[in-house]
Amino acid sequence: MTRLRMLSAGLLIALVAFALIGPLVLADPTAQHLDHYLQSPSLAEPLGRDDYGRSVLARLAHATRLSLVLGAACVATALLVGTAAGVASAWLGGWVDAVLRAVSEAFVAVPALLIVLMVSALASGGSVWALYLGIALAQWVEYFRVVRSRSGLVLGSPAIEAAGLLRLGRLHVVRRHLWPDLRPMLTTLASLGMVTSILAMSTLGFVKVGLQPPRAELGLMVTESFAFYDAAPWMAVAPVAVLFLLTVCFLGLRRSETVS
Amino acid sequence: MTAPTSLDLHRVTVRHRGRPLVDVSDLRLEPGRPVTIVGESGSGKSVLAHAVMGTLDPGLEVGGAMSVGERRLDLADRSNRQFLWGRDLALLPQEPALALDPTMRVRGQVAEGVPGFRRRDQHATAVAEAALGRLGLADAGAAYPHTLSGGMAQRVAYAAATVGGARVLIVDEPSKGLDPASLDRLADLLAEHTAGGGILLTITHDLRLARRIGGRVLVMREASVVEQGPAEQVLDAPTHDYTRRLLAAEPSRWRHRWAPALPPADPSPALVTATRVTKSYGDVPLFEDLSLRIGAGERWAVSGPSGVGKTTLGNVLLRLTSVDRGTVEHAPAAGGGRLQKLYQDPTLSFPARVRLGLAMRDVVQRHDVAAGRLEELMTAVGLPPDLLDRRPAQVSGGELQRLAIVRAMMARPVLVFADEATSRLDLVTQEVTVDCLMTELSDTGCALLLVTHDRDLATAVADHHLDLGTPGRSRPSLAGILPA
C-alpha cells in the first residue's frame, strides 16, 4: 500500500513539475508555424506539432497546468464550503440543518455535469470562472453530506459531552474531536474530487461546451486531434495519457479508509 | 453423546509470540460437577475457553489436547472440534447482545441450532419456540435482538447455544453488563444444566456468581492456575496470597479510610436541587415527581436494575438531559465546569484520534491548573507519565478510567457523577479505581453521585442511597431515601 502511494506521489510530482515549469521554458503554445504542419516527433519537439504547427508539448504543459490549477481551486472551494456547511448543519441543527439539507438535496437531484453546463450557459461561453463555479457547485454536496453525518456521530458522543462539562469550548471540539476525525475522510474525498474535476473539465472541452479554442485544454486537445488520428496519432495520445496518469495518481494516493 | 462422559484437558498452552497466555496442566470436567475459573482481566481465562472451543485467533500458538469420551483431539488443530459444536460443545459468548444477529428474529436464530436444521423447518421452529418458552421468552420469538434487554438477550443466546443438545457448556464472562436479577436467572439456568448431567465450565470475574454455581473453582493469574479446590474452600478459606487479594477486592469486604460514615446531622449547602421532576421515554415513565437534594460533600448512590432510568436521572441532575416536568437547580458553586461525569466506557469519553496528552493539555490550560499538578495527580492514581503519549484505544479500561478521574479532578469539581464507571472492570481493577476516585473526592470534599447496579458497591461507597426499583411499575413519588 505504501509502495503504491510512493509511486503515485512520485509520478504526480513529475506531472506537477511538468505543468508548472513547462509553460515557463517551452515555446509559446499559440505560436503557429503553418510550414511545420503535423510535423512528426523529433528531438526538438518530442511530441511533434499539430495542424497549425503549434508545439504539442507546450500546449500539453499549459493544458496540464490549467487542469491541475482549476481542479485544485474547485476542490478547495467545494471542500471548504461543504465542510463548513456540514459542520454547521450537524452542530446547530434546527432550521440551519433543514435549509442546508434542502439545498443540498436539490443539488443531488440534478446530475453534476448538468449543473456545470447550466452555470456555463449563464456566463459567456468558455469562461474559466464559469467552469470553476460550476464544478465547485456540483461538488460541495458530497463534502456536505459526508461531513454532516460524520460530525453528527462525533458531536453526539460522550467525549463531546465530557468536553462540554469541562467547559473546553468550541475550539477544542474542532481541533481535538472534529478535525482529527474528518481529516482522513476529507483527504480521500479531495483526491477523488480532483479526478472528478479534471475529468469534468475535459469532458466538457471534448463536447465543445467548456473552454473554447485556441485555449490549450486536455479535452479540447483530444477532440481537435480526431481529424488527424491516422496522420498524427501523437496529438491524441499525449492528452489522453496525461488524463490517465493524473487519474491513476490521484486514486493511488488515497489512504486505505480502514479505521485503526 | 449418549452416556455421560467427562471431558479432559491435557496441558493446555497458548502463546503469543513466545509469551505465554495460558499454561494450565490437566483438568477434568465431569457431568454434574461445574468448574469455574476466576481471575482478573488478562489472566488468560477467556483464552483458555476459546482454546477448548477452537475459536482462537490463528495468530496464537496453541498446544495440548482434550479427550471427550474415547476421542482424543489435538487442540493445535482449530478445525477438528467444529463437528462437536452445538451437538456436544457449546459456548455462551461474552456480551450476548453483540453475539446475536441484529437482522434476524430471535426464533430463527435459535432454530438454526436445532440438529438437522433446514430452511423453513417447521420442526426446528417448534423446538426453538419450546426452548424459548422454557426460558420465559415465549413472547419474544418474533422480536429482533435490539428490542431485548441485556438479560433477555443472554437467555436467547443461552437457548441458541443449548438447543442443539450440547452437554458441554462453556460460559464466558456472563456477568458483564447484567444486573443482579438477570444474573440470578442465568445462574438458575446453569444450575439446571449441571443438575441434568451437563458439563459446565464458567469463566468469570464475579465471585458472587462463582459462589452461586459452586463445584470446583480455579483461580488463574498470569496464564496459570494459582489455586484450585471446592468453591467453599477456595472462596472462603483461600491459601494463596493472590486469592486473598482477589477476595478482599469485593466491595463488601473493603476497608478504606474513606469508607462512609454516618452523614452529619446538619445538612450541608445544596449543590443540586431537583424539584418534582418527571421524565419518560415515549410511553415508558422513568420517574415521576421525584425530588432530590444533593449537598456539598455528600455521597449518593443510585441503584436499581438495568433500564430503570438511573443514568437518565444522573444526566437530568447534571442538566445534560431535559425533563418533562419539574425543575433542576444548580447552586452558584456548581457552575463553570464544577460538575463532572465519569463514563461507563472511558474510551468513548476521550477524543478518539488524538494523543491523551493533547486532550489533557486543553484541560490544564482551560482550568489554569498549576504546573506539575497533572503529573502529581497521575502519580497519585498510579499512572505512568508515558501513558499520555498513547491514544485512548491503546490504554486499558482501568487505566483510562483513572485518567478520566484525573481529568475530572483538574476542573476542581464540587460533584462527580460516576455512571457505572467501574462496571466493566474486574474486581481488583475496580477496587483500585474506586480507591483513586474516593481518595481524591474525600481529599477535596467533593460530592459523589454514583450510579450502579451493584448494591455492595453502593453500600461500600455511599452515605445516601436512592433505589429506583423496577421499570414500568408505579413507585412512590419520593423513592425510599435511606441513610446507609
**Ranges of each domain in chain A:** 2-26+54-253
pLDDT bin (cut points 50, 70, 90) of residue B413 is very high
Q: Are B354 and A165 a contacting pair at CB < 8 A?
A: no
How far apart CA B190 and CA B199 sit, in angstroms, is 10
- In this predicted model, what pLDDT tens digit does every residue of A70-122 receive, in sequence order? 999 999 999 999 999 999 999 998 999 999 999 999 998 988 888 888 887 77
A2-26+54-253 CATH fold: MetI-like fold (1.10.3720)
Secondary structure in 3-state letters for chain A: CHHHHHHHHHHHHHHHHHHHHHHHHCCCCCCCCHHHCCCCCCCCCCCCECCCCCEHHHHHHHHHHHHHHHHHHHHHHHHHHHHHHHHHHHHHCHHHHHHHHHHHHHHHHCCHHHHHHHHHHHCCCCCHHHHHHHHHHHHHHHHHHHHHHHHHHHHCCHHHHHHHHCCCHHHHHHHHHHHHHHHHHHHHHHHHHHHHHHHHHHHHHHCCCCCCCCCCCHHHHHHHHHHHCCCCHHHHHHHHHHHHHHHHHHHHHCCCCCCC
Q: Please tell me the predicted confidence (pLDDT) of residue B1.
A: 45
ipTM passes above 0.95 = no
**B337 interaction partners in chain A (CB closer than 8 Å):** 165-167
Min Cα distance A179 → chain B (Å) is 9
- In this predicted model, what pLDDT tens digit does every residue of B388-404 receive, in sequence order? 988 888 888 888 888 99
Contact in structure between B419 and B344 (CB atoms under 8 Å): yes
Nearest CA in chain A to B413: A166
For domain B7-248, give the CATH superfamily. P-loop containing nucleotide triphosphate hydrolases (3.40.50.300)
Write the CATH number of the domain with boundaries B270-483.
3.40.50.300
Nearest CA in chain A to B354: A176
**B351 interaction partners in chain A (CB closer than 8 Å):** 159, 163, 176-177, 180
How far apart CA B42 and CA B265 sit, in angstroms, is 45
Q: Are B366 and A167 a contacting pair at CB < 8 A?
A: yes
**Ranges of each domain in chain B:** 7-248, 270-483
Q: Please tell me the predicted confidence (pLDDT) of residue B79.
A: 84
Collapsing DSSP to helix, strand or coil, B444 comes out as helix
Q: What single DSSP character describes residue B395?
A: S
Collapsing DSSP to helix, strand or coil, B280 comes out as strand
Q: Is the pLDDT of residue A225 over 80?
A: yes
- Choose the most confident range, by mean pLDDT, from A10-19, A127-136, A143-152, B372-381: A143-152
**B336 interaction partners in chain A (CB closer than 8 Å):** 167
C-alpha cell at A122: 449563464
Min Cα distance A182 → chain B (Å) is 10
Contact in structure between A77 and A110 (CB atoms under 8 Å): no
Min Cα distance B366 → chain A (Å) is 6
More confident residue, A234 or A158: A158
Q: Please tell me the predicted confidence (pLDDT) of residue B263.
A: 64
Mean pLDDT lowest among A107-111, B20-24, B203-207, B263-267 = B263-267
pTM comes to 0.78
- Asked if the domains B7-248 and B270-483 are classified in one and the same CATH topology, the answer is yes
Q: Please tell me the predicted confidence (pLDDT) of residue B136.
A: 82
Mean pLDDT lowest among A147-161, B221-235, B468-482 = B468-482
Which own/partner contact pairs does A74-78 have at CB distance under 8 Å and 24+ positions apart?
A: A74/A132, A74/A135, A74/A136, A74/A139, A74/A193, A74/A197, A75/A139, A75/A190, A75/A193, A75/A194, A75/A197, A77/A132, A77/A136, A77/A140, A78/A135, A78/A136, A78/A137, A78/A139, A78/A140, A78/A142, A78/A143, A78/A193
CA proximity to A242, closest of A56, A112, A30: A56
Min Cα distance A177 → chain B (Å) is 5
